[in-house]
Structure 1
Amino acid sequence: MSRVTSEDGTPIAYERLGNGPAVILVGGGGAVDRSENSPLAVALGEHFTVYNFDRRGRGESGDTQPYAVEREFEDIAALIEHAGGPAHLYGVSSGGALVLEAAAAGLPIDEIGVYEVPYDVSPGVQERHREYTEKLGALLAQDRLDDAFELFMRLAGSSDDDVRGARSSPMWPELIANARTLAYDAACLNDGSPPVDRLAKVSQPVLVATGGMPDPNMGGLAPGFFDHAADAVAEVLPRAERVVIESQGHVADPKAVVPVLKRFFES
């Protein structure tokens, strides 16, 4: 484990694996640290130099306040600079939204891959997202971290059984310890809908991927939720390639993901 220092002085912890062109992995909401991407980092490291990092507020990275999405751009920029120049980025879930926003902001990025970015394209999304962020903020302000994480799970389509199982699992204390970062992921999604104007500014080739299998832990989401979002994103990105990685849920098997990323990043 190593660290880079972001522009505001925040230490960002990362692991470096493999050799070849640089790929930076960006995790999504609910991830307590970089470990969620560790299996992918190992597999992808057979072909690339992979930087797997803890987003600010998670794992061994710092959390300088006040938070702004732009600070996470600076975290990624520090990793890109440390890697020696432009790098490929791969973002999962809300981490994919962060990657797209970073590209629109003009960071020195090569090809981009995103997987199942949770933009909502259904009517009323802005109001629902505003209500979620306001309620989440109130719960966090009251230190009701258990309830804040449950609120996130409900947003992600978890059932009553899913929530009860999570609350009784040994992982629950670790999950709620990172509950404050849920507000960061909500900010990365802006108003919850695809940021059409900013996406149109992304000049890099972008692989827009989804899995071909509904996730049983997200059964409360509308059918085709991630596919509809991906279709909308691909439609406005100037250089998008839309793919389905068959038989994968929201947490995809690295063995299925790596060949797709390798082809795209090396094309």
Structure 2
Amino acid sequence: MSGYGKGEVRSADGTTIGYRRWGDGPALILLHGGMLASQHLTGLAEALADAFTVCVPDRRGRGLSGGHGGEYGVAREVEDVRALIAETGANRIFGLSSGGLVALRTALAVPELERVALYEPPLDAAGSMPLDWLPRFEREIAAGRTGAALVTALKGMEVEPVLGRVPRFVLTPLMAIAGRAGREPSGDDVPIEALVPTQRFDIRLVQEMAGTAEEYASVPAQVLLLGGARSPAYLRAALSRLAAVLPHARSVTFPRLGHSGPTNDGRPLVVAAALRDFFTADPGRPARPDGAGR
């Protein structure tokens, strides 16, 4: 992995937001999703670093950044991104999953954003996102059973189809071992054990933004909606709803990808190709709606 620089900004409530930085060029912000940190988007960042100054923050509550704070919600996350925009001059942003929710809400609040790319934001409509697993997850976190909680979240959200076919009694000890192995992170990386409990805050964003699709009809930015054909139906439905509401939106579906497509565990180079086309398109020419059929 090539080297990266680091920076930090101070959000409106005083929270420090730290970020990793690659490349040289127009600024581009990448926002990770739930149970992830900036370390999981390094492949995507490096693939775009020859054309952009890529800034990947640890969203609050993780790694280089401060805690969630007592009044956590989407407004705090938007303030964090505002601080990054003010520091970097970015007018382009990408968000994965709950990071996509943050990017979407920021696009509504910050008209300076010209191009916004969203990969499967879990925008809930009429209870479309499964959340019946959440009480069990909370109990397991409270009991310190991080591996079990990870299994509960992954099975409940249905984002990893293979895991859905593996019994819990097989998965839980494997996840517990993985968590213990990751207790000593490398460099700025955040251990798995520290990331799993943060999922409760990302679910809070999902709940807060549920039923808000119509509000994004006034987003002025060009928006690229990205998703994988192997992802759960409720995520594909959220993208379809946004495509119908957003005034300047185009969609790309990756036939061979699922929800983790942009991460290091997915196929970040494939996603980067679509993002490069979108973010480098001439302002007077809309980005192509294809170019990602791999």
TM-score (norm 2): 0.76
Q: Contact 2:58–2:65 at 8 Å: present in 1 too?
A: yes
**2:97 matches 1:80:** no
| Offset, 1:148 | 4.0
> 1:229 maps to what in 2?
238
Q: Contact 1:5–1:78 at 8 Å: present in 2 too?
A: yes
> 2:48 maps to what in 1?
44
Aligned residues: 253
Structure 1 residues 184 and 249: alpha-carbon distance in aligned structure 2, compared to 1, 3 A threshold = same
Aligned partner (choices 56, 75, 83) of residue 60 of structure 2: 56
Structure 1 residues 162 and 95: alpha-carbon distance in aligned structure 2, compared to 1, 3 A threshold = farther
Which letter does structure 2 place at the counterpart of 1:240?
A: A
C-alpha separation in 1, matches of 2:111 and 2:54? 18
C-alpha separation in 2, matches of 1:183 and 1:97? 15
Q: Secondary structure at the match of 2:123?
A: coil
> 2:186 maps to what in 1?
none
C-alpha separation in 1, matches of 2:227 and 2:80? 26
C-alpha separation in 1, matches of 2:181 and 2:30? 23
> 2:175 maps to what in 1?
166
> 1:218 maps to what in 2?
none
Q: Secondary structure at the match of 1:39?
A: helix
CA RMSD of aligned residues (A): 2.5
Q: Secondary structure at the match of 1:8?
A: coil
> 2:24 maps to what in 1?
19
| Offset, 1:225 | 3.7
> 1:258 maps to what in 2?
272
Q: Contact 2:134–2:153 at 8 Å: present in 1 too?
A: no
Structure 1 residues 193 and 155: alpha-carbon distance in aligned structure 2, compared to 1, 3 A threshold = farther
Structure 1 residues 156 and 165: alpha-carbon distance in aligned structure 2, compared to 1, 3 A threshold = farther
Q: Secondary structure at the match of 1:168?
A: helix
Which letter does structure 2 place at the counterpart of 1:195?
A: T
Larger displacement relative to structure 2 (35-44 or 143-152): 143-152
Which letter does structure 2 place at the counterpart of 1:44?
A: L
Which letter does structure 2 place at the counterpart of 1:23?
A: L
Aligned partner (choices 242, 255, 259) of residue 246 of structure 1: 255
| Offset, 1:254 | 2.1
TM-superposition CA deviations, 1:171-218 (whole Å, max 9, x none): 565323233321221122136745222222222111001123x26xxx
> 1:154 maps to what in 2?
155
Identity of aligned residues (%): 30
Note the residue ranges of structure 1 that are not aligned, 5 or more in a row.
216-220
| Offset, 1:37 | 0.5
TM-score (norm 1): 0.83
Which letter does structure 1 place at the counterpart of 2:177?
A: S
Note the residue ranges of structure 2 that are not aligned, 5 or more in a row.
1-5, 184-190, 262-266, 282-294
Q: Contact 2:43–2:269 at 8 Å: present in 1 too?
A: no
C-alpha separation in 2, matches of 1:116 and 1:165? 27
Q: Contact 2:128–2:234 at 8 Å: present in 1 too?
A: no
> 2:128 maps to what in 1?
125
Aligned partner (choices 102, 116, 119) of residue 98 of structure 1: 102
Structure 1 residues 125 and 226: alpha-carbon distance in aligned structure 2, compared to 1, 3 A threshold = closer
C-alpha separation in 2, matches of 1:108 and 1:26? 17
Aligned partner (choices 48, 68, 71) of residue 73 of structure 2: 68
| Offset, 1:27 | 0.2
TM-superposition CA deviations, 1:140-176 (whole Å, max 9, x none): 5x35452543432232224334444322324565323
| Offset, 1:75 | 0.9
| Offset, 1:74 | 1.0
C-alpha separation in 1, matches of 2:111 and 2:172? 38
Aligned partner (choices 9, 14, 17) of residue 4 of structure 1: 9
C-alpha separation in 2, matches of 1:75 and 1:145? 31
Q: Secondary structure at the match of 2:114?
A: strand
